[in-house]
Structure 1
Amino acid sequence: MDKINLNQIGTFTSEDGAEIVAHDSATQRLFVTTGDTVEIIDISDPANPTKVKDIEIGGGGSNSVAVNNGIVAVAVEADTKQDNGVVEFYNAEGILQASVTVGALPDMLTFTPDGNKVIVANEGEPNDDYDVDPNGSISIIDISAGVASATVTTAGFTGFNDRKQELIEKGVRIYGPDATVAQDLEPEYIAVSPDGSTAFVTLQENNAVAVVDIETATVTEVLPLGYKDHSKGQPTLTQYEFPSLPVLGTTATENPEDSTQTTAGQDILLGGLSGLFYEGKADNGNLKFVTVPDRGPNGNSADVDGDGAKERPFALPEYQARVVKFELNETTGVIENLSEVLLTREDGTTPITGRPNIPGVDEVPVDLFGNELGYDEFGADLEGVVIADDGSFWMVDEYRPAIYNFDSTGKLINRFVAEGTGDLADQPAGTFGTETLPAEYSSRRPNRGFEAVALDTDESILYAFIQTPLANPDRATSNGSDIIRVLGIDPTTGEPVAEYAYLLEDTAKGVRPGGRVDKIGDAIYAGDGKFYVIERDSEVGADANKFIFDTNLLGATNLLNSYLVNVNSSASGVEFDLNLQLQVNDDGNNLLNFGFSSESQLVLGLITSSLPEDIFTSVNEDGSISGSVSLDNSPELTQAIATLMATEPGETIDTSGLEFLLSNFFSEDLSENTFIENILDGVTVSRATLEQFSADELAALGVNAVNKTKVTNLPSIGYQAGDKPEGLALLDDGRLAVLNDNDFGLLDEDIPVDGTVPVNPNPTPVVLGIIEFDGGNQLDASNKDEGINIKNHPILGMYQPDAIDSFAVDGKTYYITANEGDARDYDGFSEEVRVKDLQLDPTAYPDAATLQADENLGRLKTTTEMGDTDGDGDVDQIFSYGGRSFSIWDEFGNQVFDSGDQIARILESQTPELFNADFDDDDEFKDVDGNFDFSDTSPSFGKDDRSDDKGAEPESVTVGMIDGKPYAFVGLERAGGGVLVYDLSDPTAPKFNQYIRTEGDVAPEGLQFIAAADSPNGEPMLAVVNEVSKTTTLYEIASLKASGDKGIFTTDVNGTTVELIDLRGFDNQATVTVDYTISREADFNNEVYFYAVDDITGAVDGKQVGDEGYMEAALNKLVSPVFSTSDNNTESGSVEFDAGSIVVPVIIADGTLTEALSGEAEVYFPYIGANTNSDNFDHIKMLNSNTFGFEDLPEGGDKDFNDIVIKIDNIA
């Protein structure tokens, strides 16, 4: 691939500071914030940047600067940073033109692509005592009429204040003391989409981004960024497409009601696979799976008989439900040994069909000619499958919904349905199965019953997941609900033993673009109360949302052990009802006052002979009643459990506009004859169902939803097989398997009612995806482990990006973040502690003593505000700050790439002496002349000092287009600073290009890409401002030719930049002449040679880099004479190489070839793994597009790369 190379051409050192930089192409000036000033630097001669003047900034100083079309915008915080700040507009000469007020602590600003608006991130940090915490916000300044007429609109977060728990459940960190959502969210950095319509704003401490509609100045959504699981690698996908599937059946060739109507018949292939279970390995090593088709091939629901009601056409009316078994041969990639188990009723003979169960309740089944079909009381629309230890199959269906148990031969053992199912058809209980499930489940939406089943083998509980929120009490409730019910039953009896509230990722209140994620796809038990769960939307392609979550029941409220009370206003009382909520409204007294005296109270009478002791009550109104009372065991006691108390008898309390939610939580089951009585006159008491509660209302009632962490989005890792990933299995080695439902290859269209069904001419393939977690995701977590130790740890890293930028590839918008990490550490509130200071849960961390040792995780900084999943006071999950990476996200907030541990690996390879070093104190590393000196590698140098914190801290990022390709430049605040360069042509798999750092530059804070068209010398450039060293450095960017072209280029091999000359493009000649100039500034007498390699990996006659004897093989394959010269001398020459070859440089340091072969001299290769003496420094570097620089000292020494310099003048 084509590559680029950065070469330093000029540096300016400030006396004041250097933080953020912007460029004006018309004047060729840089504008650099220093705090109290903005420095103007002339770069018309980029080799000699020169200060023009200072712009004096008032208030609390400048935080950010941006330039567009000669307008310089500066973000200025107030003297008291909790007060509103301002944005000042200057011309390129530094003359103030206008000023506008924005929010508290404007921290970053940027222009929209058209230059008409300035977007400002107002961070709104609290004061140090944390008793003043302003709202975070985003200001949108319209300057289309000129800066003198600028107008400001604010996009705030107050609309999310009543969605606090919802955001927390999704993974947004909201944790400041007594903070509202608007106070807690702190906008940090902004990226505007290329079309100028949308801004992504990082909320660093909150581990989230805000999505802003720029035209309407509205925050449309707050998207969580998830967590980085350092216990395993990044997910990668391998796909296996099913071969041609067998014919399931042929459609009828004759209308059974009209023999004159005939068709040729259509073969329908096996498909519609929903659910997946891994059986284990076959004797031959194949992976064995089982799955189930759903109700058989069927057409779109439509009015086929003209009666105004929709019917459901079945292409194969006598289709028999079945289990499908298959194997995957991973060696060949072939899916084979497919077999079926047909399902029958308990008699072992009567088939289980796919037709609906209950006339007048379910859809009317018809054939392809429109003839009405019979119902099947046990008909199944199967979705999930598991195999129990006894070999029996458990499945769920969407119809009733129902839970099925079949023996290993396919004979029905039992079918569990909701209580009252028989009543729906005016039939006795048992007609449709054993009625043990809660009656509410009959309110499922059509074809949205149970979608997933998972067997907790630890507790012997079978869990069924409803597909979509119940229509409880109506469809509108389902559409507006975020709650999925997870029901657990005793497999031996079918009786419910557990029920949990599971909150969907995409809420009904959100306006996130793309299809809403409102469905469960499948689930699988993973041990220790954990499940993997698929959530999905109905979209297809790369932009679809098909999430896999790692979920945990730890700390979740079992709703069957809690009682949400339903009552009506009948004075006679109603029987106690599970899973419902007492809701008392003042609708009957709206806008009126009614009085409560100390004797006249709201009373709920509990009439029973056995009463629990503790009842909790809560009112859904800020500052309103909350408390508890105790009841004794006196029979038929009437006790006040909630009271609107007056301070004196007869006082009137205004309740207009208030809504009261009261809930009773009992520590033991109530007897069946418990009654609830409402005796408050004039107050309407209404019913509320679980589906009608928001996450915040549930939290107010003490209900904890299922805990979940996103693993991946399937389309983002390449799984894009249709819209229905409905199979999920866990392999015994920790890998996951996914499978899609292809709808039997039919189109979702109305049937023509002529005996045929619309068949998809390009059917969605059935694809088995295997997800393994092999992408590097490790970290060095200790600064007391005596070295570089990059490995897996049982922690979740919070991405917490600082900088963000946008770019487009093939018309699609992406965002790239630098995942620095940040903690809140104030006098009035601090979340930061070390892992060794935590009390770890003994079940989650049985090896806590070892884990908390300083050399392991003990030194790692973590948070006190997260991790106690079950609320028992100890930590069940350890979190760390920052992803130590950069990530790429699509326009919907799905992560499509994370660099994992690449940054750490690159630094380990290229600058090990600076690995995770701390350069926070600019005086600590200066020599006697006041200049930075990085030659000292003693412990005082700070190596590994930041491993316990956030590692190299990728803080800044920008994207530039070079030769039509997007490149990312990522600045590292620690570890010696420097900039990483990646090719983003494939946003899902960026390629490492270069790591460059300049001695004396410390802690890059701001980056500015300058396109060739805007550059002072016509070449693309990068300006880097370094906060600690107060330097601004300019790098020229040169393009290097790729493999297959004629010339020199670098390539990435295992994380290392390899320099070589590729002569494979010279097809019509035997040899190639290379003209060169060589110079030397070194005391050592070095020798440089070129040797031939098999390919760019460096193999020599099949011997790989790192193999024993590689050095000898390379030195025996030399294809050039020695390149050498005397000290401080320059000379020219030429050499011939074979056309079509790849030649690579090698340096023998202060020795000869003979000495190198005898082991008496050090030899350094572009392939670091080949260096002698285990030297891990990259001694060969491209200084620009045609110049090799060589460093001869062990481990890089002074790193000047001028000990030998070879410039290639011509290749012909």
Structure 2
Amino acid sequence: MMKKYALSLAAMLFAAGLSACSGDDGSDGATGPAGEDGAVGEPGTNSVLIELSLLGRYVSGLTEESAAEIVTYDPATKRLFVVNAAEVSIDVLDAANPSAPAKLGSIQSEGGSANSVAVSGGIVAVAIQAGTKTDNGKVEFYNSSSLAKLGEVAVGALPDMLTFTPDGKAVLVANEGEPDAGYAVDPVGSISVIDLRAGVAAATVKTLGFEAYNDRADELRAKGVRIYGPGSSVAQDLEPEYIAISPDGKTAWATLQEANAAAVIDLSDIASPTLVDIRPFGLKDHSIIGNELDASDRDGRINIRNWPVKGLYQPDAIAAYDFNGKTYYVTANEGDDRNDFIPGEETKRVKAAALDATIFPDAATLKLDANLGRLTITPYGAKTNAAGELQELLVLGGRSFSIWNSDGAQVYDSGSEFERIVAQRNPGFFNASNDNNNFDDRSDNKGPEPEGVALGKIGGHTFAFIGLERIGGVMVYDVSNPQNARFVQYLNTRDFTKLASDPTAGDVGPEGLHFIPADNSPNGKPMLAVGNEVSGTTSLFQIDVVELK
């Protein structure tokens, strides 16, 4: 039976210790001790506990300029390849000594800026958006050792993320196809499949668009897919963000973040891939136990509780793994708006919205700043009455991570655990943002904002590593059993005694995460590489293992 929400033992222990920051009693939860950032697990037969610790860090010296975004690793050369948007390049770091990663050189983008990087079999693939981002982009290929360019192919508009298939014989590209400001030009979103079986020089590309769904907009909306760009067709409105490929290489899911949905791609024939479905992620009900959230940045306290609010999961990163012969997908439920593009912006605060009095009889109380008044919502896709008054409050993002089966059903969601754990570990900087240290700053808008996710297998167990874009840090969960994920550790290497813009503030704004298994690692132990967008740092975390029999 599918669980809408599964609460692990570790989370219940946190909930017990954090009773002061949840519930309707309104008590202040900011008075408890911060606790230690160590491994917390659920010991049992054949359990595996792991603990992350900072091993080494490369500091670019460029803060708040997106100098470290997506990161990947080449085991043959022991090099990290890091997207450096500030310098429009890929930084190449020597990680042979993981305690002191050092820059060896860079790959300069040609004709546009790099958005993503991946490596397989000595080949580095780089997604390059065009100088005019609404034009078609390209993927460039380089030798991971010599850094010599091997070739390039054309793909769709704004290639935002790419990944190799497990066998390295193809590359999938999420072409986001964002509009320009004001929606004067809105290219179609698409997914390019680059066939490398005959080598880079003979690579072929098939780009899959969503034009076949243009006459099915009402059907998609009825299913819960958000189609709302002004004057946009379905093909223009769907914007692929991130791709995960099943371990057998036969199926892929691409997140369509703003649409709160995923595209499913059949890869059984790489020469002729097909788009087979668009599946909505649905809504998260924050009024039920386990799905609480802190909704105000102006109440001066930690107040994680139930509210009559529904969350759009809107995942950014996605990753896939197998359990008992079936594929499951893990999503980081970040949330995103189109305020940079839609004239007049997409979002508003609850206190500025007209609410249906039959659904919200206590609207005046809800609209107080200390309650829901400051909460950022979107009216796009929300139910309304005949007068246009909102009958539901939709917030962006789930403030969680989720696990979905291959049919698109949710089998696990971390509910309110991220905010509860952060409240217990960093109460003085609860829901701080990545550009300030202000307590409670992001409670009104997406909270800790989980964005990146990476999966790794250690000791026969599968672990998920989720980066929190705003307050920072990495959440670690054992997801070996998809229906019973267990919290393991939260580690944040940000120094809150310093401004986020200070080059010595540690790691701020984790963006991309990459797991390095022990047999590929430079020191023989599993590692996690993290690119931190705001601090411009690339960090290597060693993962120590304790097996309990």
The answer to whether the superposition gives a TM-score over 0.5 is yes
1:158 maps to amino acid: E
- The Cα offsets for residues 211-254 of structure 1, whole Å up to 9 and x where unpaired, read as 01122322110000000001113xxxxxxxxxxxxxxxxxxxxx
**Aligned counterparts, 1:1135-1146, within 5 A:** none
> For the Cα contact (< 8 Å) 2:151–2:201, is it kept in 1?
yes
> Residues 315-360 of structure 1: CA distance to partner in whole angstroms, max 9, x if unpaired?
xxxxxxxxxxxxxxxxxxxxxxxxxxxxxxxxxxxxxxxxxxxxxx
CA contact (8 A) 1:130 1:826 kept: no
1:1170-1202 C-alpha deviation (Å, 9 max, x unpaired): xxxxxxxxxxxxxxxxxxxxxxxxxxxxxxxxx
Deviation at 1:827, TM superposition (A): 5.2
Partner of 2:99: 47
> Where do 1:655-804 residues align within 5 Å?
776-804=290-318
- Offset of residue 8 of structure 1: 1.1
Residues 1:103 and 2:149 aligned together: no
Which residue identity does 2:218 align to in structure 1?
Answer: Q
Map 1:1046-1057 → 2, pairs under 5 A: none
Aligned residue for 1:200? Answer: 253
Contact kept, 8 Å, 1:100 with 1:152, in 2: the verdict is: yes
Counterpart check, 1:1011 vs 2:517? yes
- Is the contact made by 2:48 and 2:459 (CA closer than 8 Å) also made in structure 1? no
Q: How many corresponding residue pairs?
A: 481
> Does structure 1 residue 170 correspond to structure 2 residue 223?
yes
User: Where do 1:738-1137 residues align within 5 Å?
Assistant: 776-826=290-340, 828-829=342-343, 830-920=345-435, 941-975=437-471, 977-999=472-494, 1000-1042=506-548, 1045=549
Confirm or deny: 8 A CA contact 1:832 1:861 kept in the other structure: yes
Note the C-alpha offset of 1:156: 1.1
Distance 1:217 1:825 in 2: 33
Aligned-pair distance for 1:821? Answer: 0.3
SS at match of 1:864: coil
How far 1:997 sits from its partner (Å)? 1.5
C-alpha deviation, 1:1040, in angstroms: 1.5
User: 287, 293, 316: which is aligned to 1:231?
Assistant: 287
Matches within 5 A, 1:283-302: none
> How do 1:156-305 and structure 2 match up within 5 A?
156-214=209-267, 215=269, 216-233=272-289
What do residues 875-933 of structure 1 show as CA deviations (whole Å, max 9, x unaligned)? 1111000000000000111000000000011111111122110123xxx6xxxxxxxxx
CA distance in 2, matches of 1:105, 1:964: 38
**What is the distance in 1 between the residues matched to 2:135 and 2:364?**
47
Kindly indicate whether the alpha-carbon contact (under 8 Å) linking 2:130 and 2:158 is maintained by their aligned counterparts in 1: yes
Ranked by relative contact order (alpha carbons within 8 Å, sequence separation 6 or more), the top structure is 2
Matched, 1:133 2:186: yes
Q: Distance in 2 between matches of 1:841 and 1:912?
A: 36
Gaps of 5+ in 2: 1-46, 495-505
Counterpart amino acid of 1:67? V
SS of the aligned residue for 2:288 comes to coil
Residue equivalent to 2:78: 28
Give the distance between the partners of 1:788 and 1:895, measured in 2 at CA.
29
Whether the 8 Å CA contact 1:919–1:942 is kept in 2: the answer is: no
| Cα distance between partner residues in 1 of 2:383 and 2:263 | 26
* % identical equivalent positions: 55
Q: Distance in 1 between matches of 2:189 and 2:200?
A: 24
The Cα of 1:60 is off from its aligned counterpart by: 3.2
After superposition, give the CA deviation of every residue in 1:186-226 in whole Å (9 maximum; x if it has no partner): 00000000110111000100000000112232211000000
Return the alpha-carbon distance in structure 1 between the equivalents of residues 511 and 325 of structure 2.
30
1:564-579 to 2 correspondence within 5 Å?
A: none
Query: Deviations along 1:773-827, whole A, 9 cap, x unmatched?
Result: xxx1100011001111000010110000000000111111100000000011135
In the alignment, is the contact (CA less than 8 A) between 1:916 and 1:974 conserved in 2? Answer: yes
Query: Which residue is 1:90 aligned to?
Result: 142
Where does residue 58 of structure 2 map in the other structure? 12
Q: Quote the Cα distance in structure 1 between the aligned partners of 2:475 and 2:357.
A: 41
Within 2, Cα distance between the matches of 1:67 and 1:27? Answer: 11
Which residue of 82, 102, 112 maps to 1:60? 112
Task: Report the Cα distance in structure 2 between the residues aligned to 1:1019 and 1:188, rounded to whole angstroms.
Answer: 31
1:118 to 167, 171, 174: 171
Q: 2 CA distance for matches of 1:13 and 1:149?
A: 38
Query: Contact 1:885/1:903 (CA < 8 Å) preserved in 2?
Result: yes
Deviation of 1:985 (Å): 1.5
The aligned counterpart of 2:35 is none
Contact 1:918 1:945 in 2 (8 A): yes
User: 1:639-650 residue pairs with structure 2 within 5 A?
Assistant: none
SS at match of 1:61: strand
| Equivalent residue letter for 2:83 | T
Query: Max radius of gyration: which structure?
Result: 1
Offset, 1:131? 1.4
- Could you tell me how far 1:942 is from its partner in structure 2? 1.2
TM-score normalized by the length of structure 2: 0.86
Tell me the TM-score normalized by structure 1. Answer: 0.39
Identify the residue that residue 73 of structure 1 maps to in structure 2. 125
3-state SS in 2 of match to 1:77: strand
Whole-angstrom CA distance in 2 between matches of 1:190 and 1:868 = 30
Partner secondary structure for residue 66 of structure 1: strand
Task: Measure the CA separation in 2 of the matches of 1:116 and 1:968.
Answer: 25
- Distance in 1 separating the partners of 2:457 and 2:381: 40
1:849 partner SS: helix
1:283-682 correspondence to structure 2 within 5 Å: none
| SS of alignment partner, residue 2 of structure 1 | strand
**1:2 deviation in Å?**
1.9
Instruction: Kindly state the Cα deviation for residue 155 of structure 1 after the two structures are TM-superposed.
Output: 1.2
| SS, match of residue 165 in structure 1 | helix
Counterparts of 1:197 and 1:115 in 2: how far apart (Å)? Answer: 13
Do the aligned partners of residues 163 and 1030 (structure 1) sit closer, same or farther apart at CA in structure 2, a change above 3 Å counting?
same
Distance 1:897 1:101, change over 3 A: same
Equivalent residue number for residue 374 of structure 1: none
**Offset of residue 828 of structure 1:** 4.4
Question: What do the CA deviations read for 1:569-593 (whole angstroms, capped 9, x no partner)?
Answer: xxxxxxxxxxxxxxxxxxxxxxxxx
What's the CA shift string for 1:443-486, capped at 9, x where partnerless? xxxxxxxxxxxxxxxxxxxxxxxxxxxxxxxxxxxxxxxxxxxx
Does the 8 Å contact 2:513/2:528 carry over to 1? Answer: yes
For 1:154 and 1:1006, the matched residues in 2 are separated by: 25
* d(CA) in 2 for partners of 1:798, 1:828: 19
Q: What is the distance in 2 between the residues matched to 1:818 and 1:201?
A: 13
Change (3 A) 1:828 1:806: closer
Contact 1:131 1:828 in 2 (8 A): no
Deviation at 1:54, TM superposition (A): 1.2
Residue deviations 1:470-512 (CA, integer Å, cap 9, x gap): xxxxxxxxxxxxxxxxxxxxxxxxxxxxxxxxxxxxxxxxxxx
Distance 1:809 1:873 in 2: 46
